[in-house]
Amino acid sequence: MTELTIAKALNAGLRRAMEHDSRVVLMGEDIGRLGGVFRITDGLQKDFGEHRVIDSPLAESAIVGAAVGLAMRGYRPVVEIQFDGFVYPAFDQIVSQVAKTLRRSEGAVRMPVVIRIPYGGGIGAVEHHSESPEAYFVHTAGLRVLTPSDPGAAYRTIQQAIACDDPVVYLEPKRRYWDKGEVDLAADVRSGDPWCSRLLREGTDVTVACYGPMVRTCLEAASAADVSVEVIDLQSLSPLDLDPVAASVERTGHLVVVHEASKTGGLGAEVAARITERCFYSLEAPVLRVTGYDVPYPASRLEEHFLPDLDRVLDAVDRSLAW
């Protein structure tokens, strides 16, 4: 086992995928010589060449559009959207072409495209650099959506996403890039199943379901709580694996869902609806959500008031138990 940051684990995962399959091609703004703004692709152009790690123009629609053509020609493109708020110029390509080509071609044309997007706040960035657009992609049939929460998961799931024949929107929690954890660099993880939730902490009183940047926050809240809190990392946002959540709720009777994105129409609403349908007679309180507020992401001086924190998670746990 090797201790790495999430950023280094992603770099190692990309490197291994490129070593394994010569059809894997990386594209994005400043990902080559610079190694990306977060240095996720650092050193890859030097080792694999400019024909496989391509510095693209500043045009997200062109980046994703080129990836569609490459996928049609048998390549496995991995594109980087430099920041979450920059993905919208490519939204038409993603939802109209990437998501629908397989079905439109009646299965004749696969679309093994991975779209890497650093997302979420907490780094003191300027406008359009701290958004959480996951609900748009989860709502779009034909896309798979993954988000790792620790270095081990990042190393595994980036390779599994690249090996997948379906398009994957791969959301990287940017404020967790520098979190460290153990990674098994010797493991062959390509054939594993990333489309599942992970039980990270066992508990008996309340279930907390979360993903991406909120996983660490929820684990810290569970450690600080006066009650026994079970923490589940959803990891795969589409398809959603709610079997572990349902099994947990059947034991605890309480569920709190936590994410950074705004509340209305967020993934927490989908989790709450499905668990209420499946576990109605087990629930002892309504499913509660701890989320960002229904406002545009604020200026960096105010973002700590927008982002769910340990106190807000603990307050929801207390409210659920007091119902």
Is residue 243 located within the same domain as residue 270?
yes
Is residue 166 located within the same domain as residue 202?
no
Q: What is the DSSP string of 74-117?
A: T-EEEEE-SSGGG-GGGHHIIIIIITTHHHHTTTSS----EEEE
Is residue 174 located within the same domain as residue 209?
no
Is residue 96 located within the same domain as residue 212?
no
Our answer to whether residue 139 is catalytic in this structure is no
pLDDT of residue 192: 84
**CA 97 from centre of chain:** 21
**Domain tally, the chain:** 2
Is residue 48 a part of any domain in this protein?
Answer: yes
Beta-bridge mates of residue 3: 182
pLDDT of residue 54: 97
Is residue 316 located within the same domain as residue 204?
yes
Among 183, 209, 233, the domain-final residue is 183
Is residue 249 a part of any domain in this protein?
Answer: yes
Is residue 40 located within the same domain as residue 175?
yes
CATH of the domain at 203: 3.40.50.920
- List the pLDDT tens digit at each of the 323 positions of the chain: 899 999 999 999 999 999 999 999 999 999 999 999 999 999 999 999 999 999 999 999 999 999 999 999 999 999 999 999 999 999 999 999 999 999 999 999 999 999 999 999 999 999 999 999 999 999 999 999 999 999 999 999 999 999 999 999 999 999 999 999 999 998 888 888 999 999 999 999 999 999 999 999 999 999 999 999 999 999 999 999 999 999 999 999 999 999 999 999 999 999 999 999 999 999 999 999 999 999 999 999 999 999 999 999 999 999 999 98
Q: How many helices (H) and strands (E) does the chain have?
A: 12, 14
pTM above 0.85, yes or no: yes
Reply yes or no: is the peptide bond before residue 308 cis, omega within 30 of 0: no
Among 131, 159, 183, the domain-final residue is 183
Among 122, 157, 183, the domain-final residue is 183
Is residue 217 located within the same domain as residue 110?
no
Contacts of 24 (CB under 8 A, 6+ apart): 17, 18, 52, 75, 76, 77, 78, 162
Q: Tell me which residue range forms the domain holding 16.
A: 2-183
Contacts of 52 (CB under 8 A, 6+ apart): 18, 22, 24, 25, 26, 45
pLDDT of residue 50: 95
- Note every long-range contact of 203-206, with CB atoms under 8 Å and residues 24 or more positions apart, other chains counting: 203/227, 203/228, 203/229, 203/230, 203/231, 203/252, 204/228, 204/230, 204/251, 204/252, 205/229, 205/252, 205/254, 205/321, 206/230, 206/252, 206/254, 206/255, 206/256, 206/317, 206/320, 206/321
CATH of the domain at 164: 3.40.50.970
Is residue 84 located within the same domain as residue 207?
no
Q: In what order do the strands lie in the sheet with 24-28?
A: 53-55, 24-28, 76-80, 114-119, 168-173, 144-146, 236-238
Is residue 129 located within the same domain as residue 51?
yes
Is residue 221 located within the same domain as residue 164?
no
Is residue 192 a part of any domain in this protein?
Answer: no
Catalytic residue among 20, 51, 128, 129: 129
Is residue 204 located within the same domain as residue 57?
no
Is residue 31 located within the same domain as residue 139?
yes
Helix (H, G, I), strand (E, B) or coil at 158: helix
